[in-house]
Structure 1
Amino acid sequence: MHSESICITVDGEHIEGTFAVPRTGVPGILFVHGWTGSQQSDLKSAREIAALGCVCLTFDLRGHAATEALRMSVTPRQNLHDVVAAYDALVSHPMVDRSSIAVIGSSYGAYLATILTSFRPVRWLSLRVPALYRDEHWSLAKGQLDRLDLTHYRNSPVGPDDNRALAACARFDGDVLAVESENDHLVPHMTVANYVAAFRHARSLTYRVIAGADHALSEKESRAAYASLLVGWVREMVLGAR
């Protein structure tokens, strides 16, 4: 916080005043949706978090929404480029404090969000049902990966030495929120456990399980529980940093 003196004109006279002004801008929040999703799923949470005094950015990964025709050919590498470009757009906003960036990812978007931290500074990282993919799939078409192979991989113990996303988690030193769905048929408990275990240097780690929830948060109650958890965590992080 710093002070700025001003002169206020009133009735032909002058009075002195002082602005108390934050030295930095406001936190920036980047949302990364999951595979087959879109930014529409994040807009409600983005509006709630923006009301806390943040600048939020939602966007559509290539292969989704207006570019759905690319879905069967786009690769994780290309989608990471999307995330990096969106991050750069967020930090270019004149109100955003570049040292106060949060990334909120779901499923495939959470996987990409962790890798983003290897290329751009991130202070807060929220991962809901983070998916995991083999490193050798990095430049393959995401929509054509073998689902049975993915299921086997996600039910296996995997460490930071064997996966680029988990390696990024091991290097991350900010605050983390990890959210699991109790009845998730796509991202099993083992996958979430691999992520949680990888955060060896995180400043803080909050791990929650949404009871009765499936992967997509199909039920209204599950969506409400996640929204409350997410907004509460962001409020704690943002207000604690001010």
Structure 2
Amino acid sequence: MTVRSETIDITVSDDYISGTILTPGAKMPGILFVHGWGGSQQRDLARAKNITGLGCVCLTFDLRGHERTHEMRASVSREHSMEDLLAAYDRLASHPAVDNNAIAVIGSSYGGYLATILSGMRPVRWLALRVPALYWDADWDMPKQALDRDKLAHYRRSAVTASDNRALAACKDFKGDVLLVESEQDDYVPHATLMSYRTAFDLAHSLTYRLLDGADHGLTTDTSQHAYTTLLTDWISEMVIGSRLVDYPHHSAAYS
């Protein structure tokens, strides 16, 4: 942790005593949340409030085609979503309180997929991916809603490698810390997809893999929501506190 030291005089009656005031560096880690397709920033907000309390600057946002711009849903492509994510990242990184060398991206499903690609385009120190979806590289400019769902389901059950997938290629080059979370009862992102991601992160500084027992893709029960929130907050806390103790790379890797 960067500490600023300033010598001061403290007035006492008609005299003064010398002191030194120590303050943490002005910069804090930045945390960017990316929701899944059909989601919104609403669920991220509660988690962001918890994580802000750790001493971080958090940004949540709605991808185009969601919430206020839901009427665009049928025309939004992955290219549009990537533009949204890059704009959100740049806005967070430009905040005067954010340390550009300490930015985490937390993505769920479609947001996790986008987050991995972002890591190859902007500096990202930590990646937290919950049930990250996977898409073939072709049809990048096609409206996402027009992609063949049956074909996607088959693709995700296949063994996909970094040599033929843009997102996994970014994972292969990623050297930061990773949290990868799978839902036991996921009907959209199968175990094979999580294994493709897990295998791709062979250069990661650390990889923490967790399975949420009984959870479905959308974490529709309060128990699943609580379990994920606790897991995410604990991991971010470990990463942030570790980064303040020593320079990157921080403390020992935590594989599971």
| TM-score normalised by structure 2 residue count | 0.92
- What's 1:95 paired with? 97
- Partner of 2:204, secondary structure, is coil
After superposition, give the CA deviation of every residue in 1:187-211 in whole Å (9 maximum; x if it has no partner). Answer: 0000010000000100000000000
Q: Give me the whole-angstrom Cα distance separating, in 1, the residues matched to 2:142 and 2:15.
A: 71
Q: 2:109 aligns with which of 104, 107, 110?
A: 107
Q: Which moved more, 1:79-88 or 1:18-27?
A: 18-27
**Structure-1 separation of matches of 2:64 and 2:11:** 53
Gapped runs of 5+ residues in structure 2?
Answer: 245-256
In structure 2, relative to structure 1, the CA distance for the partners of 1:88 and 1:12 (3 Å cut) is: farther
Aligned match of 1:239: 241
* Per-residue deviation, residues 124-160 of structure 1 (Å, max 9, x unmatched): 1000000000100311101111110100100000000
Query: Which one of 126, 132, 135 corresponds to residue 133 of structure 1?
Result: 135
Other-structure match for 1:76? 78
2:65 alignment partner in structure 1: 63
Question: What are the superposed Cα offsets for residues 61-85 of structure 1, whole Å, 9 maximum, x if unpaired?
Answer: 0111111111110111111111111
1:166 is the counterpart of 2:139? no
How many Å separate the matches in 2 of 1:168 and 1:34?
19
Distance 1:10 1:139 in 2: 69
Inter-partner Cα distance in structure 1 for 2:19 and 2:140? 57
Match of 2:9 in 1: 7
Partner residue, 1:35 = 37
CA distance in 1, matches of 2:34, 2:180: 15
Other-structure match for 1:19 = 21
Show the counterpart of 2:251: none
RMSD: 1.2
Alpha-carbon distance between aligned partners in 1 of 2:217 and 2:83, rounded to the nearest angstrom: 25
% identical aligned pairs? 59
- Cα distance between partner residues in 1 of 2:18 and 2:62: 49
Paired AA for residue 199 in structure 1: F
Any gaps of 5 or more consecutive residues in structure 1?
none
SS across alignment from 2:197: helix
The reply on whether 1:196 has 2:198 as its aligned counterpart is yes
Q: Counterparts of 1:24 and 1:198 in 2: how far apart (Å)?
A: 35
The equivalent of 2:249 in structure 1 is: none
| 1:24 CA drift (Å) | 5.2
Instruction: Give me the whole-angstrom Cα distance separating, in 1, the residues matched to 2:58 and 2:10.
Output: 34
Which segment is superposed worse, 23-32 or 94-103? 23-32
Match of 1:145 in 2: 147
Q: Deviations over 1:84-123 (max 9, x none)?
A: 1111111111111111100000000000000001110011
Q: Could you say which residue in structure 2 is the equivalent of 1:181?
A: 183
Displacement of 1:4:
1.6
Aligned residues: 242
Aligned partners of 1:35, 1:212: CA distance in 2, in Å? 22
AA partner of residue 50 (structure 1): T
